[in-house]
């Protein structure tokens, strides 16, 4: 597949379709594969290497992969022989295309609770990455979407390349940015993060640097050499030696209309301002109106509520939102339209932004009672 150009267009449905619906043979093969084979661990000198190993699915995360990485990072955190951790993706298509949305779709149809358990573990992993006591280097090469952002952008040394195509395309499938994405994008300059979240725009490496999702640009051809140097040298010094000046961010150049158009907390008003601005802004309005209206409004509220939160607090709130999305119609319908049937014509319920009432949005953030997500921060508070 040809990768989308580094523009501000909506997330390409073809990218979502990389996570194809498996055949019976594929499912039997996947069930027979141990999670340790879906993610590989090795120690090279003082470097602990995590390789996501589902290249045919652009290394989309499964529950077994998340559990295995969580356990390995916990062990390496206390292992004095490991000075640095590196996370990378197998194959040449990308680090990670996100969570396994096909597995989520099957779980929704079955009325199961596997997705809730997957997210709980995934968010614990995101939290651990942020607080990891050693340099955590992420090679954000190729596609880095959704859950791929979670496993990389909370690290201490986040590296993009000229091949990077990243973003949070969740509203395309009736979902909301998670894995701490609402917090990350709420911290971006001006309203650029709001634009990225609502449109699901694909972002270049330079855009990721501008948004604060990454720290350094290294040409993809130099990543293997950098990994070799990381085996025995200081991570900070090694990365700085290989880093180069990135190209200009196209997203940053659009702040003249992004910031004023997205500076309100009202989604309908955002669309009105975008249409009035014309040009690229009007195209963004078209993009937003094609997304799930409920997801757009909940995503906007989630971004605003994330400001000033810790990562653990944001993840706990995203978990509330996620479970409500599982119970609603749009998440299931979005996956069906983009990945399963691929007709690209989701029937959103409700169908327009105007029909989504503020009370409907507020319900997504209501406490979960005994299903609340407990993360490290809260566990330590009650120790």
CATH number, position 57:
3.90.226.10
CA distances from 208 to 85, 202, 249 (A): 21, 10, 8
Q: What's the mean pLDDT when you consider all of the chain?
A: 91
Number of domains comprising the chain: 1
Give domain status of residue 90, yes or no. yes
Q: Is the pLDDT of residue 2 over 50?
A: no
Which residue among 64, 99, 148, 167 is the active-site one?
Answer: 99
Give domain status of residue 264, yes or no. yes
User: What is the spatial distance between Cα 241 and Cα 301, in angstroms, rounded to a whole number?
Assistant: 41
Task: For residue 381, name the pLDDT band (cuts at 50, 70, 90).
Answer: very low
Active site residue 381: no
Give domain status of residue 219, yes or no. yes
Give domain status of residue 205, yes or no. yes
Task: For residue 16, name the pLDDT band (cuts at 50, 70, 90).
Answer: low
Which H helix or E strand runs over 217? strand 216-217
Angle between helices 267-277 and 192-199 (to 10 degrees): 100
Contact (CB, 8 A) for 67 and 74: no
Task: For residue 252, name the pLDDT band (cuts at 50, 70, 90).
Answer: very high
| Mean pLDDT along residues 275-296 | 98
Which residue among 18, 178, 312, 318 is the active-site one?
Answer: 178
Strand 47-52 with 136-140, pairing: unpaired
Provide the strand spans (E) within 77-172: 84-89, 94-96, 136-140, 143-145, 157-160, 165-167
Which pLDDT score, from 0 to 100, does residue 166 have? 98
With CA atoms as reference, report the closest residue to 136 among 230, 67, 244, 241: 230
- CA–centroid distance for 127 within its chain: 14
Which residue among 48, 147, 322, 334 is the active-site one?
Answer: 147
Give domain status of residue 8, yes or no. no
User: What is the spatial distance between Cα 125 and Cα 119, in angstroms, rounded to a whole number?
Assistant: 10
Active site residue 178: yes
Active site residue 170: yes
Active site residue 265: no
Give domain status of residue 4, yes or no. no
β-bridge mates for residue 96, sequence order: 144
Give domain status of residue 212, yes or no. yes
Give domain status of residue 1, yes or no. no
Which residue among 122, 170, 191, 215 is the active-site one?
Answer: 170
- Residue 43's domain comprises 13-381
């Amino acid at each position: 597949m040809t990768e989308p150009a580094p523009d501000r267009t909506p997330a390409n449905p073809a990218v979502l379709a990389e996570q194809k619906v498996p055949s019976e043979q594929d499912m039997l093969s996947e069930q027979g594969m141990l999670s340790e084979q879906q993610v590989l661990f090795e120690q090279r000198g003082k470097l602990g290497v995590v390789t996501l190993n589902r290249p045919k699915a652009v290394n989309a995360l499964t529950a077994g992969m998340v559990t295995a990485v969580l356990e390995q990072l916990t062990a390496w955190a206390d292992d004095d022989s490991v000075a640095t951790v590196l996370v990378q993706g197998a194959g040449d298509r990308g680090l990670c295309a996100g969570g396994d949305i096909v597995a989520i779709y099957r779980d929704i149809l079955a009325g199961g609770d596997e997705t809730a358990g997957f997210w709980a573990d995934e968010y614990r992993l995101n939290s651990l990455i942020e607080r990891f006591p050693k340099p955590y280097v992420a090679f954000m090469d190729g596609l880095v979407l959704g859950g791929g952002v979670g496993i990389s952008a909370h690290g201490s040394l986040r590296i993009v390349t000229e091949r990077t195509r990243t973003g949070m395309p969740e509203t395309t499938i009736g979902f909301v940015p998670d894995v701490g994405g609402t917090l990350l994008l709420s911290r971006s300059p001006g309203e650029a993060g709001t634009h990225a979240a609502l449109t699901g725009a694909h972002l270049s490496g330079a855009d990721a640097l501008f948004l604060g999702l990454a720290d350094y640009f290294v040409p993809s051809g130099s990543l293997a050499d950098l990994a070799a140097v990381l085996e025995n040298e200081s991570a900070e010094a090694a990365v700085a030696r290989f880093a180069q000046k990135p190209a200009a961010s196209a997203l940053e150049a659009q702040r003249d209309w992004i910031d004023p158009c997205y500076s309100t907390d009202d989604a309908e008003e955002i669309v009105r301002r975008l249409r009035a601005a014309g040009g690229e802004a009007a195209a963004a309005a078209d993009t937003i109106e094609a997304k799930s209206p409920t997801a757009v409004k909940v995503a906007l509220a989630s971004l605003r509520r994330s400001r000033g939160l810790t990562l653990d607090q944001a993840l706990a709130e995203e978990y509330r939102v996620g479970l409500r999305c599982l119970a609603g119609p749009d998440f299931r319908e979005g996956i069906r339209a983009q990945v399963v049937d691929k007709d690209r014509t989701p029937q959103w319920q409700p169908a327009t932004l105007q029909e989504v009432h503020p009370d409907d949005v507020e319900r997504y953030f209501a406490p979960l009672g005994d299903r609340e997500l407990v993360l490290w921060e809260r566990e330590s508070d009650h120790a």
